């Protein structure tokens, strides 16, 4: 998406958390309200090209549009006229892309008579195949499909499964071994979690290597908290689980709001909505370590919530060293889309906001986010114009490593200071590593070390050498982040201490 930044005539910058983000202009996706646009979703195809999906909740239709270099293509209906698809502002189709492969999960109406289906594109969303049924579950009922794409391009779907009377809601996972032509038998993911799935709350699923992780809102006698379940054998069995949410929210009706998350190795970063403190609905962020079964961080994304303010529908994307969250925030009846980003884990997201929508007239809602190579791609529904709107934010401190040898994905001086290079080696390490700074007139600098939750665990002040030795000392094994601050430059990256 670098080419996008060159063609824009209108851009904005702001500085947060030692980051400089360059914003694109707003781009309308649908050209008005004629498609009854609700709950847009965004994914990235080959070349980090955005593809956007949304629903028409009047005619029960799903559309996509793709970036063409200067705007978006005409809306494309992705299913046949013979089916109606459930879509709403709070739930609906989900999709994922890997290269030019795109998978969409649909719930076909009427709910009691139809199942959940996959729709596939292998040309980046230019065309879509016919629907393929996902749920081979006899007389059971299904809704809320969501999808990830595993290594090798095979789709992994999760959906909520009920008995024939719409009772005993459970999230199950089903995989395809042939690129989405057929699907295996479903596997119940939440067997280790007491209670049942919150029956009108969507879930999220991610896949990385052998590990697949599902996150959902659980309902244990009306205690409705966020849990995850994971599989280390590509979804064949789910043998671990954990509670990321300690808000103790007891509510006797379904809140119709689910979680979102990313994970890398044993570290899960997540976001969700809760009113567990008895006040207005708030968005939370947190970090969980699967290896130690511990919550490393847990907090509201806003430290103070004024009267007549509330939040919902948060979404997350990024990587461990670069997190972004979008959410819907209402202030005295006016609803905006807020964005928070962090180079230092979920703790760095708190109060680190910018308003995404330029126009503050009317309600802006149902945001989504996708991330790649230092750029966050954001989409939302503009209730004032009825359009779907797209905007991107690029962190200028990000430079992708093209050598294939550097494990640091966020590594560059702020503002691309010429003649400077930063590296850390060895990485991973056991006893010590060396941070190497190549720049003339390096001056004094400091280095902060953060754990996976964003907590500062070590600080090196008043440094001047171009090499800094970082000793393991008392630090446990796991992923860490560093932030180097000089008078004229800043850099950040990550490293791993061996277990």
> How many Cα neighbours within 13 Å face the side chain of 234?
13
CB 322 within 8 A of CB 373: no
Reply yes or no on whether the pLDDT at 332 is more than 80: yes
Tens-place pLDDT, residues 433-480 = 999 988 877 888 999 898 877 778 999 998 989 899 999 999 998 888
61: left (phi over 0), alpha (psi -120 to 50) or beta: beta
Helix residue ranges, H only, 222-345: none
State mean pLDDT over 177-198. 96
State mean pLDDT over 299-310. 92
Strands of 467-471's sheet in order across:
421-425, 432-438, 467-471
pLDDT at 362: 83
97's CB contacts (< 8 A; 6+ apart) are 43, 44, 45, 51, 103, 124, 125, 149
- Integer angstrom CA distances of residue 437 from 206, 286, 420, 462: 36, 32, 7, 15
Where is pLDDT greater, at 431 or 399?
Answer: 431
pLDDT at 452: 75
CB 308 within 8 A of CB 331: yes
Here the tokens at position 131 are 């629907």
pLDDT at 406: 35
Among 224-228, 298-302, 417-421, 430-434, the least confident range: 417-421
Tens-place pLDDT, residues 121-167 = 999 999 999 999 999 898 899 999 999 999 889 999 999 999 999 99
pLDDT at 138: 87
- Integer angstrom CA distances of residue 353 from 63, 77, 328, 415: 30, 35, 12, 20
Tens-place pLDDT, residues 99-113 = 999 999 999 999 999
Let me know if 473 is exposed, middle or buried by CB neighbors in 10 A (0-12, 13-18, 19+).
exposed
Reply yes or no on whether the pLDDT at 405 is more than 70: no
**Residue the block writes with tokens 């093209």:** 402
DSSP string, 165-177: TS-S-EEEEEE-S
State mean pLDDT over 42-65. 97
CB 231 within 8 A of CB 212: yes
Percent pLDDT > 90 in the chain is 71
Measured from the Cβ of residue 186, the count of other Cβ atoms closer than 10 Å reads 23
Tens-place pLDDT, residues 58-107 = 999 999 999 999 999 999 999 999 999 999 999 999 999 999 999 999 99
Here the tokens at position 153 are 């391009």
Reply yes or no on whether the pLDDT at 415 is more than 80: no
Here the tokens at position 399 are 């430079």
- Integer angstrom CA distances of residue 21 from 10, 203, 224, 453, 455: 14, 30, 36, 22, 23
pLDDT at 419: 59
pLDDT range class, residue 177, cuts 50, 70, 90 = very high
Q: Which residues of 296-321 are buried (b: 16+ CB within 10 A; e: fewer)?
A: bbbbbbbeebeeebbbbbbbbbbbbb
Sorted by where each starts, the structural domains of the chain and their CATH numbers stand as: 2-395 (2.120.10.10), 421-497 (2.60.40.1220)
Q: Average pLDDT of the chain?
A: 88
Q: Integer distance in angstroms from the first to the last C-alpha of the chain?
A: 37
Q: How far apart are CA 286 and CA 296, in angstroms?
A: 7
pLDDT at 6: 28
Q: How far apart are CA 428 and CA 479, in angstroms?
A: 9
State mean pLDDT over 32-60. 95
């Amino acid at each position: 998406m670098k080419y996008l930044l060159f063609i824009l005539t209108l851009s904005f910058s702001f500085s947060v958390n030692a980051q400089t983000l360059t914003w694109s202009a707003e781009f309308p996706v649908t050209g008005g309200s004629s498609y009854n646009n609700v709950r847009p979703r965004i994914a990235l195809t080959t070349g980090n090209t955005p593809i956007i999906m949304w629903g028409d909740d009047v005619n029960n239709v799903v559309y996509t549009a793709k970036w063409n270099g200067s705007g978006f293509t005409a809306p494309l209906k992705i299913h046949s006229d013979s089916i109606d698809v459930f879509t709403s502002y709070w739930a609906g189709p989900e999709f994922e892309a890997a290269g030019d492969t795109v998978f969409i999960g649909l719930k076909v109406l009427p709910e009691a008579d139809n199942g959940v289906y996959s729709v596939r594109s292998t040309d980046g969303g230019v065309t879509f195949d016919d629907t393929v049924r996902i749920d081979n579950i006899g007389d059971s009922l299904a809704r809320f499909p969501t999808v990830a794409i595993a290594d090798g391009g095979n789709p992994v779907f999760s959906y909520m499964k009920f008995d024939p009377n719409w009772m005993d809601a459970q999230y199950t996972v089903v995989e395809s071994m042939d690129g989405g032509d057929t699907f295996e038998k479903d596997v119940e993911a939440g067997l280790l979690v007491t209670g049942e799935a919150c029956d009108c709350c969507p879930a999220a699923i991610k896949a990385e290597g052998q590990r697949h992780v599902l996150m959902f809102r659980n309902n244990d006698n009306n205690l409705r908290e966020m849990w995850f379940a994971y599989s280390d054998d590509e979804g064949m069995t789910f043998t671990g689980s954990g509670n990321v949410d300690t808000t103790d929210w007891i509510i006797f009706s379904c809140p119709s709001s689910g979680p979102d998350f990313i994970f890398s190795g044993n570290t899960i970063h997540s976001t969700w909505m809760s009113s567990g403190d008895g006040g207005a609905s708030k968005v939370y962020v947190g970090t969980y370590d699967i290896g130690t079964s511990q919550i490393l961080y847990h907090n509201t994304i806003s430290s103070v919530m004024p009267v007549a303010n509330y939040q919902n529908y948060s979404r997350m994307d990024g990587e461990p060293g670069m997190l972004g969250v979008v959410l819907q925030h209402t202030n005295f009846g006016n609803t905006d889309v807020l964005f928070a980003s962090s180079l230092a884990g979920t703790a760095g997201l708190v109060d680190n906001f910018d308003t995404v929508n330029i126009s503050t007239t009317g309600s802006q809602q149902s945001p989504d986010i996708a991330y790649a190579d230092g750029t966050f791609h954001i989409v939302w529904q503009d209730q004032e114009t009825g359009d779907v709107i797209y905007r991107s934010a690029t962190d200028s401190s990000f430079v992708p490593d093209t050598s294939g040898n550097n494990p640091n994905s966020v590594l560059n001086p702020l503002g691309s200071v010429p003649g400077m290079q930063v590296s850390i080696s060895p990485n991973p390490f056991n006893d010590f590593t060396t941070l190497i700074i190549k720049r003339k007139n390096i001056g004094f600098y400091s280095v902060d070390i953060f754990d996976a939750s964003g907590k500062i665990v070590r600080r090196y002040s008043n440094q001047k050498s171009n090499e800094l030795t970082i000793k393991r000392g008392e630090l446990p094994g796991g992923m860490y982040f560093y932030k180097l601050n000089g008078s004229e430059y800043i850099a950040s990256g990550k490293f791993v201490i061996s277990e």
